[in-house]
Chain A
Amino acid sequence: MVKKSVVEEAEQIRLAIDLINLGARLQLLEAQTTLSRERLIRLYKELRGVSPPKGMLPFSTDWFLTWQPNIHSSMFLNIYEFLVEYAGVSGIQAVMAAYRVYLEQIGKGPDDEPVLSLTRAWTLIRFVESNMLKLMPCSCCGGKFIVDSYDLNENFRCGICHVPSRAGKTKRAREEQELSSGVA
């Protein structure tokens, strides 16, 4: 039997705790730590007080191309690439560091659901590493945004320079507006 290192296990648990606190799903934990599934489930329950959500992870690249998610995930990916290049971090540590900076940038409270979840952010990095998505400089502002690698992206303009007409006009946004105008 392989002798298990206690220190290494402690480090893995520490990593799993950090990931769970940032909102990771079980599949991400299984892929990034060496802990067994049972231990991860127990850890998850202990930290969150509920069982981990079941079902498959979102697997489509389309989500990253719709307007608001595109801006948020482009922001995350830009931060990630900056950190990998200049701050000397890599792998899951870089994903976590970039995600923390992203959360601080959007300035949400702990109760609000961020647009981009950690699991989605992690999936995004895997999509980029497998060349399904890439960053493309906008022809208007020069900022890099996520595009499909196999789309035609000549004269690409980003979602901020060229806001689509229905952008941000979701049902939820409308309800929030009605609510605030009702109060005032």
Chain B
Amino acid sequence: MSNESILSEIRDINLNYLMLAQQMIRHDKPAAIFRLGISEDVANLIASLSNSQLTKLANSQMMLARFRFDDCSILNMLTSYNKDRTLTNAHAVVLMANQPVEAIA
């Protein structure tokens, strides 16, 4: 994969992420806050972005969304599962809900 195509993929994902997030927040804000793991302020901000602002923001070379499992032990536990899928999902929800949201500093 060439460097240029990686960068364009990142821009693609950024735009997709922001558009999806915006739709989720507009549709059902509490659920979106839970799913995205962002604070209410950030959610309000994303929902209020105009289309041109959105594309400008997405057009950076950096990933805008962050990986939410920054705890190694939790990640290990979830990936090395051999139990059934619903149980893994339930466990992930319980563990995710305990993490604080990303907020504007």
Contacts and interface: CB of A to CB of B under 8 A. Distances in A.
Contact of B94 (A94, A98, A144): A144
Can you list the 4 inter-chain pairs with the closest CB atoms, starting with the nearest? A78-B97, A87-B30, A143-B94, A97-B30
Interface in A122-150: 137, 141-145
Interface residues of A, number: 30
A143 B98 contact: yes
B94 A87 contact: no
A19 to B, nearest CB: 16
Contact of B97 (A81, A104, A107): A81
B81 to A, nearest CB: 9
Given A86-B40, A141-B74, A97 B31 contact: yes
B89 interface: yes
Interface of A: 71-72, 74-75, 78-79, 81-83, 86-89, 94, 97-98, 100-101, 104-107, 137, 141-145, 160, 163
Interface residues of B, number: 24
Interface of B: 28-31, 33-35, 39-40, 73-74, 77, 83, 86-87, 89-91, 93-95, 97-98, 101
B94 to A, nearest CB: 4
B40 A88 contact: yes
Contacts, number: 77
Decide if the interface of chain B is mainly helix, strand, loop or mixed: helix
A105 B92 CA distance: 10
A143 B30 CA distance: 21
Given A79-B97, A86-B39, A144-B98, A71 B30 contact: no
A160 B74 contact: no
24 contacts: A74-B90, A74-B94, A75-B90, A79-B34, A81-B97, A86-B33, A86-B34, A88-B40, A89-B30, A100-B31, A101-B31, A101-B35, A105-B89, A106-B86, A106-B89, A107-B89, A137-B98, A141-B77, A142-B98, A143-B91, A143-B95, A143-B98, A145-B94, A163-B83
A3 to B, nearest CB: 33
